[in-house]
A and B are shown apart, each in its own frame.
Chain A
């Protein structure tokens, strides 16, 4: 790696980290797992003057109970989320998404928080986090604030985070049952999602009492498939109903991505297929 020269800081506390960021503002970059930042440094797409490594800050590398839900610290890696017993119990959708990310090396270092801060439209995490109504807890020189994941991610590679702020944790406000699934089609080179759909649902009798569908990879930013959710809410979830509802995915957003790896039409078609498959898988789970 031959990046532009930068100063490297490894603060001991979150306060210290915030203090360094306050000093350097936009000239500084936080380093977590480095699996998005390092490639950018390598290609000189990012050239910060200062890199603040938060990956070893005490207390941030844990999954904890938080009210009836749980909190995922900024240092928690994809791998931890795959194997953490609390996650498996309270939030199985997270545990099912984690193994779909990257490869072993990426999962061993990359973090959920780093992923949402990077806001790659092809990243996997936004889909389940939208479905789970995740809250993002941000700290900065002026104190602490919390944003819903949907507000936090603004668009392609942009978030509401200011240059001197750090995300401390992501909070899943409550526990969720096992009826959930994450389905994805991988871009064959990077492994990122060309399309990814997360479904969390609840059933009463044979009817769907609540359903949340997060879709990633297909548009400028991940979104909740509200029209589909509305059609399925209260319905009996048979294959035909699901298939019919899934068709509305093209109406959910109007900015389907088109690139080297997939056209907008193909992404829309995949989203539709994956919604069906994820809902069926969630039902079967």
Chain B
């Protein structure tokens, strides 16, 4: 199915604008092995003992008891400590920097600025986004004469202790000449706006467009054209573990090792090799435990290059830098920050004919790895789960004197989903229709489904998920009770969102770099099993899922399987963990590698048991043993024979391991329906969530516990965006929400009880049938909650409010509505 989807999409979207980057538009690709030759997991293992079961996470015992090791837990002999002097200005010229006093301070080994580092470490890199005329400014790891956002690294102190380093930072005297800062992306586009980068002509980093279908026709045929401006505010990812780096360069061995809190050790290794001009063979990157990333560790940071360069300067002593929370909030990538002007062509029966979306993305002061790519995803996903024939997004990426934006849980899909789900409610309100009916009217129903933006959705049944959610929430009864509450003057609202999103990133053709994933399954002579994966779990639970898959394929227990990830020194190669790719792409690689090991073990078993050709063709595993005819060998005995080397079957070599690189043929497109009920306090503007119901479909469930965990956490983050979170810079570019006392991430007490269910619509993009669920909760929840609040305020004539829906904003809207004639 997916393959045809691909073909259709390619021809149908021939009309779509060629300006779209190639990487993003190619959703359909040649699928690796044709589905007919493919062995599906559930065919090979019809009755899995682990896959699909609510198996508890293998990693939790050590993480919950504090026995895991994060970067900060690593203490190497002779280690030095680094603290960074950061810009207090949003935009300033560095007139002079006096470091003598700091250099002389007790315990200080050295103080380094741009001129000491620049020959060792090049600019912070970005993935090629395939956008023509992209303007990329000079982005050094330490400021080169000018700082462009509050928190930008300007100098580094290396000292015997962290305290000495931190004290010495205060002794560096920098004379700054403040320059005018530009903070508002719309103002930044004005011809007379201050320029973030003097070497560039203006603040427009790039323009981009994606379109498909006949927009003129759609807007001509519409009964009404609805205009709306929507904002997805700037968010701070706030992973529980801040970033941290240790780097060590062994001069004799010519070996750089970098321990860092990252989602992408292999990509980082390649990029660091470029920055440092060292061949990759001399660079090893290790991600120890990583305490959350949400996209903010899907990057190559100045500090990673800086520490590597410092390690060479003080070699062979290791250097360590641990980010403080304040640094994390100011100088780790932010998310979202898009303004969209929408025009919606709609019919009175609720049918949407077309959408125009002019988007301004505030990308901050520089390009990080995927800064330019993220807002293009908003454009690509604009069709949502609907079949309107025409859509267009124009995008302007604009420099401002702020921290760069990049991936944050959902990365472009939450923005797109927010837009399209608000659109459905705007249309419903415009024509006084039930938002459920408007959605039904517009749902895509035939799969594979080609969007006007050039994507090919693999499988889906949007109405099924919606119907189940409506039942779960008792939607009809709820609407009746809402009517009663409204009669009593209460502001009760019900909101929906029927999202679809992109996971399993992705086919290499659709990605900025390779979209495959690798796995090695290796069995030792005593039968212990290692799985090496190129993915890099940082909370998702792949250690558990990959053990489930491997144990089921090999017919062993889960605790016989050890999953290793995050070390480029032992994992052959990999892409990493983001975009809900780890299980769908990385898990498939594990499955394929395990399957190959199994095949070889069957052959070894047959050879060792002296089986006939007929018996050898029908070796079976039962009760943990390999059976050929009436004779059997245990798993460990077969493993031993494979290594002992005396009964190696024809055409095989000794040893027992297989490596597989899986290239998916397409993305996958999970979906779901979220429903939320809120009540707004008329006097204070406070929103309280009275109920939350979610039905998500992520294809074949590998482990329901993990899915629930992902959905719950995702909803929490989506709720944060809807109601509380916003990175606020003042007009001079100071970050006002620079601590957790001012930036409101949702806490346990902010969370409602969540009622979650699932539908199961497998994908055929991979042999596991699995789609991905890492971002679903975040994507589905934000619009459901906002739609509920706006629904509550509808009797007052309020049609839209920008997020976050903090009490004062809601209170002001209520007051304004009351004062209106």
Contact = CB atoms under 8 A, between A and B. Distances in A.
A235 to B, nearest CB: 22
B326 interface: yes
Interface string A230-260: 0000000000000000000000000000001
B480 interface: no
A190 B745 CA distance: 10
A188 B683 contact: no
Interface string A171-209: 000000000000001011110000000000000000000
A185 B166 contact: no
Nearest to A47: B170
Contacts of A43: 326, 739
B145 interface: no
A163 B745 CA distance: 36
Interface residues of A, number: 20
B683 A189 contact: no
B806 A269 contact: no
Given A260-B737, A260-B742, A103 B163 contact: no
Interface string A36-66: 0001000110000000000000000000000
A188 B687 CA distance: 12
A2 B750 contact: no
Given A263-B808, A266-B807, 14 more contacts: A2-B163, A43-B326, A103-B747, A188-B750, A189-B741, A189-B743, A190-B741, A260-B737, A260-B742, A261-B742, A261-B808, A266-B811, A266-B812, A270-B684
A182 to B, nearest CB: 16
Interface in A60-100: none
Nearest to B730: A260
Nearest to A269: B811
B532 to A, nearest CB: 37
Nearest to A273: B683
Dominant secondary structure of chain A at its interface with chain B: loop
A185 B162 contact: no
Interface string B711-742: 00000000000011000100000001101111
Nearest to B739: A43
Nearest to B322: A2
Interface string B119-158: 0000000000000000000000000000000000000000
B808 A266 contact: yes
Contacts of B4: none
Contacts of B812: 266
Nearest to A188: B744
B312 to A, nearest CB: 25
A185 B807 contact: yes
A262 interface: yes
B742 A189 contact: yes
Contacts, number: 51
B737 A185 contact: no
B811 to A, nearest CB: 6
A260 B728 contact: yes
Interface string B201-243: 0000000000000000000000000000000000000000000
B280 interface: no
Interface in B365-398: none
Interface in B679-733: 683-684, 686, 723-724, 728
Contacts of A2: 83, 162-163, 166, 324
A5 interface: yes
A273 B728 CA distance: 28
Interface string A5-45: 10000000000000000000000000000000001000110
B530 interface: no
Contacts of B358: none
Given A43-B326, A185-B684, A260-B736, A103 B741 contact: no
The interface centre, meaning the residue of B163, B326, B740, B744 with most chain A CB atoms within 10 A of its CB, is: B744
A4 interface: yes
B808 A189 contact: no
Contacts of A261: 742, 808
A2 B164 CA distance: 10
B744 A189 contact: yes
Interface string B781-821: 00000000000000000000000001110011000000000
B749 interface: yes
A246 to B, nearest CB: 11
A4 B684 CA distance: 42
A189 B740 contact: yes
Contacts of A262: 808
B469 to A, nearest CB: 28
A14 B83 CA distance: 39
A43 B742 CA distance: 14
B760 interface: no
Given A2-B163, A5-B163, A103-B749, A185 B324 contact: no
Nearest to B163: A2
Contacts of B747: 103
B167 interface: yes
Most B CB contacts (10 A, CB to CB) among A44, A188, A190, A266 go to: A188
